[in-house]
Amino acid sequence: MKPLRLERIDSPVGRHYRTPAGDLPSVTTIIGKTRPVAATRRMASAMGVRGRERARNSGARTLRGASGQMRSLAAQRGDDVHERLEGLLSDPWWSHRDIASLDGEDGWLRSAAQFLRRVVDPLLVEASLFSESHGFAGTLDLLAGLDDGLFALVDWKTSAAKKRREWIGDYELQAAAYRQGLAESYGVTGCDRAMIVVLYEDEQADVFEMDESALDAAWLRFGVRLATYRSMT
Which candidate, 92, 120, 90, 88, places its Cα nearest to that of 104? 88
pTM here is 0.84
* Structure confidence at residue 38 (pLDDT): 47
Q: How far is CA 67 from the centre of its chain?
A: 19
Which candidate, 94, 210, 90, places its Cα nearest to that of 141? 90
Domain ranges, ordered by start, for the chain: 7-232
Helix locations, 20-118, DSSP H: 27-33, 37-46, 48-57, 63-89, 107-116
More confident residue, 191 or 44: 191
Could you read off the pLDDT of 72-119 as tens digits, one per residue? 767 787 788 999 999 989 988 887 766 766 766 778 999 999 999 999
How high is the mean pLDDT of the chain? 86
Could you read off the pLDDT of 71-80 as tens digits, one per residue? 676 778 778 8
The SS3 of residue 3 is coil
More confident residue, 71 or 222: 222
Task: Encode burial over 71-98: b for 16+ CB neighbours within 10 A, e otherwise.
Answer: bebbeebbeebbebbbebbeeeebebee
Amino acid in position 171: Y
List the beta bridge partners of residue 16.
Answer: 9, 25
**What architecture is domain 7-232?**
Alpha-Beta Complex (3.90)
> In which element (H, E) is residue 207 found?
strand 206-210
How far is 184 from 175, CA to CA, in rounded Å? 15
Q: Is 19 exposed, middle or buried (0-12, 13-18, 19+ CB in 10 A)?
A: buried
Could you read off the pLDDT of 153-183 as tens digits, one per residue? 999 999 999 999 999 999 999 999 999 999 9
List, edge to edge, every strand of the sheet that includes 22-25. 7-11, 14-19, 22-25
